[in-house]
Amino acid sequence: MNKRETATLLTHAAEMAMRYVSEASERRVAPAEAALAALQRFHEPFPESGCNPEEVLAMLDEIGSPATVATTGGRYFGFVNGATLPASLAANWLAGAWDQNAALRIMSPVAAELEEVVIRWVCEALGLPLDCHGGLVTGATMANFTSLAAARYALLAREGWNVVEDGLFDAPPIEVMVGAEVHASLLKALNMLGMGRKRVTLVEADGQGRMRAEKLPKLSPRAIVCIQAGNVNTGAFDPAAPICDAAHEHGAWVHVDGAFGFWAGASPRYRHLWNGFEKADSWATDAHKWPNVSYDCGLAIVRNGEALRACMGISAAYLSPGTRREPMHHTPESSRRARGVEFWAALKSLGRSGLAELVQRTCAHAQRFAAGLRAAGFDVLNDVVINQVLVSFGDASKTQEVIRRVQEEGTCWCGGTVWQGKTAMRISVSSWATTDADVDQSLAAILRAARGSGD
Ligand SMILES: Cc1ncc(COP(=O)(O)O)c(C=O)c1O
């Protein structure tokens, strides 16, 4: 393609994307059956010869766009998926054109610089020490992995064991404590680190999923205590202050899985929930959830930067160690995309007050849902402390039927779960784009599905 053809192609891509963005809040949230069926058209034998990029793009828009889930509109309440802020999306386009490899400063000075800025801004917003270190990863799963790798390294190093050099064979055992309502991805991170899902001690949790601090077993200096800021079902926060105090008294490491709840700490109104979490040793969070940064973007923050670099850093003759922070020495990946660009754009466009307001607004929407569901006589199972609502419409089959109808009808999208033995519909308000009108429209659709599903 010559320059003019390339410019035309990019203009067409921008037009398609703008149309998609403007329609996302109007269309049904889950794709229609016909759109799903059309995906079969992608399944052709690997073409012998190439295709004009204009045709490639047209096919992607024609088949791909309708088969997306409209998570960027205001009526997607599934999982804890954030939308994308306009500044983040726009930055994503520009960053796509830049196509930077964020591994090393010399490969991308701008990527390296923006990473430093966002990590510092996040620490400022959350009241974490400004000399913490961090890395931008795919999501909270890898942020948990990265932080826990640093924890494992630091605790074993204190015992005189270098896990980077000597591995885990014959290493002094590490003990790991997690709450009974730990997120499954944290267990996956432990398993990838050779610390075994079944080897953990499960600490009793209460009816909201909060770890019971008084049930923590006796801690040793070789213990990692994993606590949660925001349970994926209820949004509940573990009692961080007493847990951190008890753990640190014995030299243990406290790690926080704050995939989305972390961001409540950026809001003066919800700051009380964050109380004590700032005392931890490491934190994992997602920027693609509550802050509405484009997918994918997670963040690991570790107080002990030396431990992080010891287990994530690599050296080779052709890799200069650099004199400043080098991104690749803080994450499992070496080559990777420049996630800091969209992250910076989102935070710069929001500012501290905008971030707090985003948290508060989405929590208010969750309260609006809960009030409407209670008023209609349905059982809200959780204390709606942040942006998560769990609602039961009766027994398991009735609730599952309501969820099925809601998803099929298309006004909004909510998923299901089983909370401490009870089947529930989960409503997670994580999109900047959700309005009061979206909540009312979605509530009406949910109530129609509930009333129409029979008893
Ligand atoms: C508490 C918690 N931890 C970890 C994760 C995993 O996040 P990701 O899918 O971004 O890796 C989630 C996802 O919802 C979560 O809620």
19-43 pLDDT, tens digit per residue, is: 999 999 999 999 999 999 999 999 9
Give 89-113 pLDDT, tens digit per residue.
999 999 999 999 999 999 999 999 9
Residue 183 Cβ inside 6 Å of ligand 1? The answer reads yes
| DSSP assigned state of 236 | -
| 190 C-beta closer than 6 A to ligand 1 | no
Q: What is the spatial distance between Cα 229 and Cα 388, in angstroms, rounded to a whole number?
A: 13
Q: Nearest residue CA, atom 10 of ligand 1?
A: 139
Amino acid found at 72? T
| Ligand 1 center from residue 260 Cα (angstroms) | 8
Q: How confident is the model at residue 454 (pLDDT cuts 50, 70, 90)?
A: low
Does residue 455 carry a pLDDT above 70?
A: no
Q: Which residues have a Cβ under 8 Å from the Cβ of 261 and sit 6 or more positions away? A: 228, 229, 230, 231, 235, 237, 273, 386
Angle at 199 between CA 132 and CA 424, to 5 degrees: 80
- Separation of CA 137 and ligand 1 centre (Å): 13
In degrees, rounded to 5, the angle at the alpha carbon of residue 341 between the alpha carbons of residues 335 and 344 is 135
Local structure of 211: helix, strand or coil = strand
Span 278-298, pLDDT tens digits: 999 999 999 999 999 999 999
Token digits for 247? 């753990």
pLDDT exceeds cutoff 60 at 180: yes
Ligand 1 atom nearest the C-alpha of 230 is: 1
DSSP labels, 276-318: TGGGSSEEEEESSSTT-PPSS-EEEEES-HHHHHHHH---BTT
Please indicate whether residue 381, judged by its CB atom, sits closer than 6 Å to ligand 1: no
* Residue pLDDT, tens place only, 409-446: 999 999 999 999 999 999 999 999 999 999 999 999 99
Contacts 24+ apart (CB under 8 A), 168-174: 168/194, 172/222, 173/222, 174/222, 174/223, 174/224
pLDDT digits (tens, 9 = 90+) for 217-231: 999 999 999 999 999
The pLDDT > 90 percentage for the chain reads 97
- Nearest-CA residue for ligand 1 atom 14 is 80
